[in-house]
Amino acid sequence: MSFRTLCTRWIALCLLSGSVLAASPDGVVAVSHPAAAAAGARILAAGGNAVDAAAAVQFALNVVEPQSSGIGGGGFMMVYLAKTKQTFIVDSRERAPAAARPDQFAPDGLPMPFALASTSGLAVGVPGTLRGIDTALTRWGTMTLADTLAPAIDLAAHGFRVNRFLAADIADDDGRTARYPETAATFRPGGVPLAEGDWLVQPDLAKTLRLIAAKGPDAFYRGPLARAIVAAQQRARSELGAAGRGRMTLADLARYTVAIREPLVGHYRGWTLATMPPPSSGGLTLLEMLGLLERFPLGDAAQGYGFGSPKTLHVMIEAMRLAFADRAVWIGDDDAAPVPRRGLLHPEYLARRAALIRTDHRMDTPEAGDPTPWDATAAPPRTTRARAESPHTTHFAIVDRWGNMVSYTTTIEYTWGTGITVPGYGFLLNNELTDFNFLPSADAAAGNPGANDVAPGKRPRSSMAPTMLFKNGLPVAAYGSPGGATIINSVLNVTLDLVDHGMTMQQAIEAPRLSVTDASGRISCEGGPPFMQPRFTIAAQDALRGLGHAGLGEAGTDGCRATIGSVQAVFVDAVNGAHRGAADGRREGTVVRVRRGGPGL
């Protein structure tokens, strides 16, 4: 029986979308696309564990959400092992090639236009997704790489229906699916963009996945496919000339390695969070914001701090502004430049930063603080300017019948990455190096560490924040989100809704979100579809305007019109211990429950 038939059967029998919870004594998969969710469920049903299922989901997402993630990119897989009670992260973030230089995006002292740099080979980082998955499977999985590739191969070879999200991303793509012929041939056949309901078959991608299934990851990192990757990233926009050509070599691909990291652990009102450490800024910024907010009585409606109240929204905004000011200066790949983790989360530092938050007016634009008195790993900062990040990426969560959990965020950076498809192989290349500073910021005299400057072998700063929530030493939830810099705030919103506002996981996912991603403090907030409840009222928005906040438009109007993130989650029912899932209707969020299994970790 083909995977397409199996997928249809899963969807008919055990697939729950949008706002529906699925409970199971065995495995649960929560993913942004039903076909990818079915791929994970197939693996769990065949006896695989959460790591096996995560591999299958990621490969399937390469087929059905190619604009967001795939083997041409990278990501962070957080894993909890129930037997040993260990939590760790498989870091498969892309790396800069050995020939990368701090000024490569500003060769004449002026930063390249993002639209040109991000669609040229110069932006391509050495991909890590495949090496990361293979490492996880080899060390903690129970199935072979070929087993977990099978659903994706079937989807690529036989096709699937284009959903409205993929169709919209093709139609509104800043030219990325039209610029390079191989990409256009797949997503704009005959010059016509694929529309919702069209059938998409990807034979070149199926061929590539079969090659990897037969020969393993070395078929990607060495040999003809590796040569094709290097050749593809030699492409550059004509406006940039030779300066826009990629610098990756065969040696860069051959020596790519993943890192196994300890999670960053923090505490909030009696709960423990395990989240992503550098090179992602996601976890550290999240924990700093929680530390700033813990001194306010969020959730206490009697004191004016109920969900969506002006006081609650105001202090959330101010905490975001302070933490993002610190993020812009201090956080990068601490394998390359030390990040002051302890200082940024030290109670005395947090107290000083939180004292800047006034409840009666908006603070002036804050600069980064100086955490070095509490952490000697870095020198005093000088503020740098951050670039806006793409809202695309993808996140999914899995729990298996033994209680092992995976929280996995994965990306090719901007929507469609560079837009470059490797000719003959059918997958897109990332533009991850544009997450570095375009203008080098390192300045010894001013004490700026250049935490996110380009350097050989370095990982660019990320916002991804796969997270797990623990109580009494045991995991109760695994969740995360796509969304560029808004990832951090999506995870913050959900955490506050769970802990402070007493929501269920599904309620927390469906609740509207608020986001500020730089110190200047321009607000984005959600209204949108009816499932987003309760709303941020116009009265609350007017109160924020009165405090001096910007981004909401004219007084008396509803300025909450953004769409922020797409949180997928699995969790343990506090009443009966059942495994459950919750999915986000902002995309085609899907939960699948599985009642079969085999040997575990």
- Same domain for 60 and 26, yes or no, is yes
pLDDT of the residue at 383: 40
- Tell whether the model's pLDDT for residue 376 goes beyond 90: no
- Same domain for 33 and 164, yes or no, is yes
φ/ψ region of 326 (left if φ > 0, alpha if ψ in -120 to 50, else beta) reads alpha
Tell me the pLDDT band of 62, cut-offs 50, 70 and 90: very high
Task: State pLDDT tens for residues 132-162.
Answer: 999 999 999 999 999 999 999 999 999 999 9
Which residue range(s) make up the domain with 160? 3-66+113-256+398-455+585-594
pLDDT of the residue at 449: 79
Q: Which two tokens stand for residue 119?
A: 């669609």
Comparing 155-159, 285-289, 389-393, the range with the smallest average pLDDT is 389-393
- Same domain for 252 and 288, yes or no, is no
Report if residue 573 sits inside a domain.
no
- Tell whether the model's pLDDT for residue 358 goes beyond 90: yes
Q: What is the pTM of this model?
A: 0.93
- Tell whether the model's pLDDT for residue 5 goes beyond 50: no
pLDDT of the residue at 448: 75
Tell me the pLDDT band of 25, cut-offs 50, 70 and 90: low
Distance in angstroms (rounded) separating the CA atoms of residues 51 and 29: 12
Find tokens 């938050």 and name the residue.
357
In 3-state terms, what secondary structure has residue 150?
A: helix
Comparing 441-455, 546-560, 575-589, the range with the smallest average pLDDT is 441-455
Report if residue 312 sits inside a domain.
yes
Cis peptide before 534, with omega less than 30 degrees from 0? yes
Which CA distances in Å does 238 have to 231, 235, 434? 16, 9, 18
H/E segment holding residue 477: strand 474-480
Q: Which two tokens stand for residue 483?
A: 């969304």
Report if residue 576 sits inside a domain.
no
Tell me the pLDDT band of 451, cut-offs 50, 70 and 90: confident
Percentage of the chain beyond pLDDT 90 is 84
- Same domain for 303 and 155, yes or no, is no
- Same domain for 200 and 231, yes or no, is yes
pLDDT of the residue at 377: 64
Tell me the pLDDT band of 13, cut-offs 50, 70 and 90: very low
pLDDT of the residue at 518: 92
Report if residue 464 sits inside a domain.
no
- pLDDT, average across residues 263-288: 96
- Same domain for 119 and 152, yes or no, is yes
- pLDDT, average across residues 536-544: 98
Q: Kindly report the CATH number assigned to the domain that includes residue 364.
A: 1.10.246.130
Find tokens 């795939």 and name the residue.
70
Task: State pLDDT tens for residues 178-211.
Answer: 999 999 999 999 999 999 999 999 999 999 999 9
Average pLDDT along the chain: 91
Q: Which residue has the higher pLDDT, 456 or 337?
A: 456
Count of domains observed in the chain: 2
pLDDT of the residue at 442: 82
- Tell whether the model's pLDDT for residue 259 goes beyond 80: yes
Residue 159 CA, chain-centre distance (Å), reads 26
Tell me the pLDDT band of 26, cut-offs 50, 70 and 90: confident
Q: Which residue has the higher pLDDT, 539 or 385?
A: 539
Tell me the pLDDT band of 335, cut-offs 50, 70 and 90: confident
Alpha helices in 15-128 (DSSP H): 34-45, 50-64, 114-117
pLDDT of the residue at 391: 57
- Tell whether the model's pLDDT for residue 316 goes beyond 60: yes
Report if residue 472 sits inside a domain.
no
- Same domain for 310 and 349, yes or no, is yes
Tell me the pLDDT band of 574, cut-offs 50, 70 and 90: confident
- The set of catalytic residues is 393
Residue 105 CA, chain-centre distance (Å), reads 24
Task: State pLDDT tens for residues 106-132.
Answer: 999 999 999 999 999 999 999 999 999
- Same domain for 233 and 165, yes or no, is yes
H/E segment holding residue 350: helix 347-354
**With contact defined as beta carbons under 8 Å apart, do 453 and 102 qualify?**
yes
- Same domain for 128 and 159, yes or no, is yes
Report if residue 159 sits inside a domain.
yes
pLDDT of the residue at 380: 47
Report if residue 213 sits inside a domain.
yes
- pLDDT, average across residues 564-580: 92
Report if residue 100 sits inside a domain.
no
- Tell whether the model's pLDDT for residue 476 goes beyond 90: yes
- Same domain for 167 and 219, yes or no, is yes
- Same domain for 426 and 503, yes or no, is no
Which CA distances in Å does 341 have to 184, 444, 473, 531? 44, 20, 22, 38
- Same domain for 372 and 409, yes or no, is no
- pLDDT, average across residues 428-442: 93
Tell me the pLDDT band of 239, cut-offs 50, 70 and 90: very high
Torsion angle of C-alpha atoms 409, 413, 418, 419, degrees rounded to 10 = 50
